[in-house]
Amino acid sequence: MTPLLATALGVAVVAAARSTWSPCGLSMLSTITPMAERARGHRYGVTATWFVVGAALGGLTLGAVAALVAVGVGALGLSTTAVATIAAVLAGTAAAVDAGTFGRRPPFFRRQVDDAWLSTYRAWVYGGGFGWQIGVGFATYIMTAGVALTALLAALTGSPAAALLVGVVFGTARGLVVLLGAGLRSPAALGALHARLDSLEAPVRWGVTVAWAAVAVGAAAVAGGPVAAAVTALAMVAAVGIAIPLAPRVAPS
């Protein structure tokens, strides 16, 4: 496994985890639960399985698009330095976007899944369909620039197989989050889960921003050594420094 692929996989998992805090992601944790599925006359385990499968297929779709781009990237024969430089720029930009440095921050593309499916279709249809929309990354609320970073790093590997793998990992990771509700047996337990997630939103958002900045610094080190890494680190500190005073006034896009 190349360092770039390992990085892309890590970014995919982190971006998927951050996406849990989207209105759509939180809605799934209320919609697909043992209580809700029992009330609809369905089995939670079956619906959740279809959701995860659908999410994995959504990730595969994302990976397939990235794989097409990867073919072109591979044909260019970019040097390690060039690839690392591009990765550093992409990750640094993602960190700045998530921080709100440019005056806007996620979420972008405010689209929810259609909850009318719940009363219209069978469990495998809405489970798999909701999962696909969640797993493809760009069909519902986008909570982090890391989703785009995932796809771009996957393409940057220059390997279609690697790009597909990154996409599937992203989609599967997004889908597995629905299992957080597997043990919920009462409305109080559901409320407690959502309260806990709400309390973690801000720390997770900033933690993810720092993660993208760390990727940028690491890639810069590969591209240009310690000096490039230091310059990139300073740029990231400046970007976050600009964003922090703006945070109370910068509304999500």
HSE toward the beta carbon, residue 21, CA cutoff 13 A:
21
Asked if the bond preceding 3 is cis, omega within 30° of 0, the reply is no
Mean local confidence (pLDDT), 111-125? 85
Pairwise CA distance, residues 30 & 42, whole Å: 15
CA-atom Rg of the chain in angstroms:
19
pLDDT value of residue 180: 92
In this structure, are residues 104 and 77 in contact, taking their beta carbons and an 8 Å threshold? no
| pLDDT tens sequence across 137-166 | 999 999 999 999 999 999 999 999 999 999
What is the C-alpha separation between 55 and 232, in angstroms, rounded? Answer: 35
For 170-179, what is the mean pLDDT? 96
pLDDT per residue as tens digits for the range 93-104? 999 999 988 888
Q: What single letter denotes the amino acid at residue 87?
A: A
Mean of pLDDT over the chain: 91
Structure tokens at 18: 């951050």
How high is the pLDDT of residue 118?
85
Q: List helix spans (H) across 77-186.
A: 80-99, 117-120, 123-135, 146-156, 160-176
Nearest to 80 by CA among 225, 222, 230, 229: 222
List the domain boundaries for the chain. Answer: 3-246
Q: Is the pLDDT of residue 246 over 70?
A: no
The kind and range of the H/E element at 5 are helix 3-18
Lowest-pLDDT range, 4-13, 31-40, 227-236? 31-40
Question: Does the pLDDT value for residue 248 go beyond 70?
Answer: no
- Please report the pLDDT score of residue 245 as a whole number: 65
Q: For the whole model, what pTM was predicted?
A: 0.91
Residues 43 and 17: their CA atoms lie apart, in Å, by 25
Q: What is the reported pLDDT for 247? A: 59
Report for 102-111, 221-230, 234-243: range of highest mean pLDDT: 221-230
pLDDT, position 221: 96
- DSSP 8-state symbol, 105: B
Q: Are 174 and 19 in contact (CB under 8 A)?
A: yes
Q: How far apart are CA 152 and CA 74, in angstroms?
A: 13
Mean pLDDT along residues 176-180: 94
Classify 71 as helix, strand or coil: helix
Quote the pLDDT of residue 251. Answer: 47
Residue 54 has pLDDT above 90, yes or no: yes
pLDDT over 80 at 26, yes or no:
yes
